[in-house]
Amino acid sequence: MRVVAAMSGGVDSAVAAARVRDAGHDVVGVHLALSQSAATLRESARGCCTLEDAGDARRVADRLGIPFYVWDLADRFREDVVEDFVAEYAAGRTPNPCLRCNERIKFAALLDKAVALGFDAVATGHYAQVVDGPGGRELHRAVDPAKDQSYVLGVLDADQLARSIFPLGGSTKEQVRAEAAQRGFAVARKPDSHDICFIPDGDTRGFLADRLGEAPGPVVDAHTGAVVGEHRGTHGFTVGQRRGLGVPRAAQDGRPRYVTATDPVTRTVTIGTADLLGIDTITAERARWCGVAPVGDQAYGAQLRAHGEEVPARVRVTGDGVEVVLEQRVRGVAPGQSVVLYDGSRVVGSATIARTGTAAR
């Protein structure tokens, strides 16, 4: 097959490209330029897509003896990921930009361009497995639970999955780093990037404030209804947040307070004690299935965060969405986040959370 190896400049994508080449495929390395003002150097382990990362990817490609190109997708990334991120926070939701990037950039814009140029598949350094099942190709968890990235790949549909290769799904991170060192890759000990790639300093509140401005409003105690503080914008808060509430402890009866709701229309941030955070019902929309859509009521596992625990649930498909009833309450789930559904290790699909609540028990 002719394969595009997406090379971020990190150790995972380097080893993934090497394994695809060793498997006998015709491989071309591609680095995605996603920033219109890429930094020259990385800031510790934060961020990605810098000029340094592009150089690291090129050096790996040279060592592998494969062609290498940089594809400029900065405009598409800004529109589909960054602007979507800002708009979701402005609407009082908490998005996951990594899922959006996989959905609209790596396995849409990149894959579409690769196919248009005559390639058969895209290979990435994600930790997940593709298995041939009775109904076609299936997406499964990686063997290394600490590195499993199937959650952020839950947005892939069957056609995208059919053209995706994840060579690292059967390996641990330690094995990948050891292999990179054996191959002589300079990135063997390079730290992993983390947090949000387009906010390299980690200051999400400051990033949003620069783009949305200040919109002051009250901080209200959910138990008493009293105004206990003031904030500079609801976009600086998300459900489950404990730090940075700007509320004097004297106004909290000594118990920790968490954000329980944000309302950008009334500019209100509501805070309360931990017992108010638990939810066990979810209404989600914009479902995407990694194969044939399920029918009727199903018993699945539901994962609500990239590294969260899977919770047993009853799931009912409703048009382009799902209704999920969890067997136990989970804290800190916000509209805008994604619920990814599992049948054993197999990823069934995902949907974006619109509403949460609690069921009578």
In the annotation, is 197 catalytic?
Answer: yes
Residue 217: helix, strand or coil by DSSP? strand
Sheet bearing 68-72, strands edge to edge: 68-72, 26-33, 2-6, 121-123, 164-165
Q: How far is CA 184 from CA 18, 164, 191, 228, in A?
A: 12, 26, 16, 58
Catalytic residue among 48, 49, 98, 197: 197
Active-site annotation holds for 49: no
What are the start-end ranges of the E strands in 119-240? 121-123, 128-133, 136-141, 164-165, 217-221, 227-231
Nearest to 100 by CA among 361, 359, 352: 352
* 8 Å CB contact between 45 and 194: yes
- Identify whether the C-beta of residue 164 lies closer than 8 Å to the C-beta of residue 156: yes
Contact 151, 303 (CB under 8 A): yes
Burial class (CB in 10 A: 0-12, 13-18, 19+), 48: buried
Distance CA 182, CA 4 (A): 23
Q: Catalytic residue, from 48, 49, 101, 290: name it.
A: 101
d(CA 33, CA 52): 12
Residues involved in catalysis:
101, 197
